[in-house]
Structure 1
Amino acid sequence: MVLLAGAVMGGCGDAGATITRLTVGSAGPDPYVLMSGTDQQKIKPSPRGGGTEDGDAPGLYGGTRRAASCDPAKLVAFLQANPDKAAAWASVHKIRPADVPRFVSRLTPVLLRVDTLVTNHGFKNGKATRMPAVLQAGMGVLVNEYGTPVVKCNCGNPLTPPDSEISAGNADYTGASWPGFTKRKVTKIRPRRQVTRFVLVDPEARMGFQRPAATTGELDGPPMEVPREELAAPSPDGSGTMDPSVSPQDSLPPDSPSDEPGTPDPSDGPSPGGDVPGQEVPGDEVPGDEVPGDDTGAGSGQDPSGEPPIEETSAGAPPPSIEPAGMVRRRGTI
Structure 2
Amino acid sequence: MYTSRRGLLVTLAALLAMTLAVASCTAATVRTVTLVAAGVLGDDAFFDIGAGNLMNVIAGAGGAVAGDRAGLYGGTTRSTQCSKKKLITYLKNNPDKAAAWADVLGMDVADIPGRVGKLTSVVLRRDVLVKNHGYRKGGSTAFHALLQAGIAVLVDSTGTPVVKCDCGNPLLPPDGDVDIDRAKYKGKKWKHFSRKKVAVIEEGDEQPSIKLAQLDPETGQATGEAFDRPTGTEGEQDSAPTPTPNPDETPTPCPASTDPQATTLSPCPEPSEPTDDPTDPPADAPTDVPTDSPTDSPTGDPAASDSPSPDPST
**What is aligned with 1:214?**
232
Between the aligned partners of 2:159 and 2:134, the Cα distance in structure 1 is 22
Residue 101 (structure 1) aligned with residue 110 (structure 2): no
TM-score by length of 2: 0.71
- Map 1:113-132; keep pairs closer than 5 Å: 113-132=125-144
**What is aligned with 1:192?**
204
Asked if the contact 2:34/2:186 (under 8 Å) is kept, the reply is: yes
- Cα deviation, 1:180-230, whole Å, max 9, x if unaligned, reads 111111000010121211111122211111111111001111112244333
Between the aligned partners of 2:237 and 2:264, the Cα distance in structure 1 is 30
Q: Counterpart of 1:39 in structure 2: which amino acid?
A: N
Between the aligned partners of 1:181 and 1:233, the Cα distance in structure 2 is 25
> Among 127, 150, 154, which residue is 1:142 paired with?
154
Which entry has the higher C-alpha Rg, 1 or 2?
A: 2
| Structure showing greater relative contact order (alpha-carbon pairs closer than 8 Å, 6 or more residues apart) | 2
Asked if the contact 2:131/2:173 (under 8 Å) is kept, the reply is: yes
Q: Counterpart of 1:20 in structure 2: which amino acid?
A: T
> Among 49, 52, 66, which residue is 1:35 paired with?
49
- Cα deviation, 1:1-25, whole Å, max 9, x if unaligned, reads 87366235236422x2111110001
**What is aligned with 1:19?**
33
From the superposition, tell whether residues 222 and 157 of structure 1 become closer, same or farther in structure 2 (CA, over 3 Å): same
Say which SS state the counterpart of residue 73 (structure 1) adopts. helix
**What is aligned with 1:205?**
222
> Among 153, 171, 190, which residue is 2:165 paired with?
153
TM-score by length of 1: 0.67
What's the offset of the Cα at 1:124? 0.8
Q: Which has the higher helix share?
A: 2
Which runs of no fewer than 5 residues in structure 2 stay unpaired?
1-13, 216-220, 258-262, 267-314
Between the aligned partners of 1:233 and 1:144, the Cα distance in structure 2 is 25
- Cα deviation, 1:35-57, whole Å, max 9, x if unaligned, reads 224211122433xx211001010
From the superposition, tell whether residues 212 and 38 of structure 1 become closer, same or farther in structure 2 (CA, over 3 Å): same
Please list every run of at least 4 consecutive aligned residues from structure 1 whose deviation after the TM superposition is greater than 4 angstroms: 231-241
- Map 1:78-93; keep pairs closer than 5 Å: 78-93=90-105
- Map 1:169-318; keep pairs closer than 5 Å: 169-203=181-215, 204-206=221-223, 207-230=225-248, 241-242=264-265
From the superposition, tell whether residues 238 and 23 of structure 1 become closer, same or farther in structure 2 (CA, over 3 Å): farther
Residue 10 (structure 1) aligned with residue 25 (structure 2): yes
From the superposition, tell whether residues 20 and 10 of structure 1 become closer, same or farther in structure 2 (CA, over 3 Å): same
From the superposition, tell whether residues 105 and 231 of structure 1 become closer, same or farther in structure 2 (CA, over 3 Å): same
Q: Which has the higher strand share?
A: 2
Between the aligned partners of 1:45 and 1:11, the Cα distance in structure 2 is 32
Q: Counterpart of 1:218 in structure 2: which amino acid?
A: E
Q: Counterpart of 2:107 in structure 1: which amino acid?
A: I
Asked if the contact 1:19/1:174 (under 8 Å) is kept, the reply is: yes
Say which SS state the counterpart of residue 181 (structure 1) adopts. coil
RMSD: 2.4
Say which SS state the counterpart of residue 130 (structure 1) adopts. strand
Asked if the contact 2:49/2:86 (under 8 Å) is kept, the reply is: no
Which runs of no fewer than 5 residues in structure 1 stay unpaired?
244-334
Say which SS state the counterpart of residue 122 (structure 1) adopts. strand
What's the offset of the Cα at 1:232? 7.8
From the superposition, tell whether residues 69 and 241 of structure 1 become closer, same or farther in structure 2 (CA, over 3 Å): farther
Between the aligned partners of 2:226 and 2:165, the Cα distance in structure 1 is 22
Asked if the contact 1:62/1:111 (under 8 Å) is kept, the reply is: yes
Q: Counterpart of 2:197 in structure 1: which amino acid?
A: K
